[in-house]
Structures are given as structure tokens and as C-alpha cells.
């Protein structure tokens, strides 16, 4: 399926997606959001890990493919990740979200009242440095609740197509 460049679609390779899910160490049955699910590179390993998945995908064609591929095994939320309503019960995030919504997504995940337990996010290097640095946006508000750290680097070659910028794993854990 051809993807217009303005959608900013960069899917992780199967090997990297499996590593990402394994690194998250999710408990069986946990509720997990795959934000920017695309064609299901991360969704598949999440389903295999025995968690309950909500795949967030705005693109109508990719959302339909997710519904067909994982019929009855996941929930597909056809919504813009920047406007996502978070679950009211404890949840995890394992995702390669659209880079353009990084700030909006981080603010939403770290918002007071968020029931986020952990997040493993593939983000551009600049965003990981920004959110793990001493002057992270709003850190005085959320740093008592969440610990945010930089994870392993992800080569441009671990995506199809390769993004223009370097990427890295950002890990958020509830204290």
C-alpha cells in the first residue's frame, strides 16, 4: 500500500518491534495502547504476548487492515493520537507514534490523573533528549509521579521507509 509522505508513516521492522515488546515486560492481560499502529508491526507481537490491545490509527486504510488482520482480537480506535482519550483504568503504551504529535502525546500521558503505568515509545532523538533533560516541559508537575528515561537507539535502517531523523526509545514508568 503506497503511503503519502504527509502521513509520516515509518513502520518498524519485525525484529525491532518484537524487541520493543519484549523490552516492555508487560503482564499477561494488561491493557496496552499501540498509538500510531500503522499496519500492526507492534500490534502483532503485543497480541502474541497475551495483552489486551487498543490499536490507535487515524489513516482509514490502515485502520481497516488492522481490523481485518486482528479481527476480534484487538480494538481499533480510529482517532487522531493527539486527541486520544486515555483509558480510565491502568494502562501501558508500547508504540511508534507519529513524530509530529510527540509533544501533545507526552503531555497527555504525563497529565495529572493519567492512569499510565509504563510507556515504551519510539521517538526522535531530539524529543527523547528534551523529555529526559533537566528542563523537560512541566517536569515539576509530573516528575513526582513518573520517571522518564532514555532507552536504546534505533537505527534509521530499522524502519520502512527510513525516517529522516535518528530515533531512540523513551521509557516512562510510574514511580
Query: Rounded to two decimals, what is the model's pTM?
Result: 0.94
- Using one digit for the tens of pLDDT, what is the confidence trace for 50-70? 999 999 999 999 999 999 999
User: C-alpha angle with apex 104: 36 to 126, nearest 5 degrees?
Assistant: 85
Q: What is the largest CA-CA distance in the chain?
A: 44
Query: Quick one: pLDDT band at residue 81, thresholds 50, 70, 90?
Result: confident
Does residue 98 contact residue 106 with C-beta atoms inside 8 Å?
Answer: no
Q: Is 28-174 in CATH node 1.10.3720.10? A: no
* Model confidence at 5: pLDDT above 70: no
Residue 95 bridge partners (DSSP):
121
**pLDDT at 169 (0 to 100):** 98
**pLDDT at 9 (0 to 100):** 81
**pLDDT at 66 (0 to 100):** 98
d(CA 3, CA 67): 18
* Model confidence at 13: pLDDT above 50: yes
* Model confidence at 3: pLDDT above 50: no
Tally of residues, the chain:
175
Amino acid at each position: 500500500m503506497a503511503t503519502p509522505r504527509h502521513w509520516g508513516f515509518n513502520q518498524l521492522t519485525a525484529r525491532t518491534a518484537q524487541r520493543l515488546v519484549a523490552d516492555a515486560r508487560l503482564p499477561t492481560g494488561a491493557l496496552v495502547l499501540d498509538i500510531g499502529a500503522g499496519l500492526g508491526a507492534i500490534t502483532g507481537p503485543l497480541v502474541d504476548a497475551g495483552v489486551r490491545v487498543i490499536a490507535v490509527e487515524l489513516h482509514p486504510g490502515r485502520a481497516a487492515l488492522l481490523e481485518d488482520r486482528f479481527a476480534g482480537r484487538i480494538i481499533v480506535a480510529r482517532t487522531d493520537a493527539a486527541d486520544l482519550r486515555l483509558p480510565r483504568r491502568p494502562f501501558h503504551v508500547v508504540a511508534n507514534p507519529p513524530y509530529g504529535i510527540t509533544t501533545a502525546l507526552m503531555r497527555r500521558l504525563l497529565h495529572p490523573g493519567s492512569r499510565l503505568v509504563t510507556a515504551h515509545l519510539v521517538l526522535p532523538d531530539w524529543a527523547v533528549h528534551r523529555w529526559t533533560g533537566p528542563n523537560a516541559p512541566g517536569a515539576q508537575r509530573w516528575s513526582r509521579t513518573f520517571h522518564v528515561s532514555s532507552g536504546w537507539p534505533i537505527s534509521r535502517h530499522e524502519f520502512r521507509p527510513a525516517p529522516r531523523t535518528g530515533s531512540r526509545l523513551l521509557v516512562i514508568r510510574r514511580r
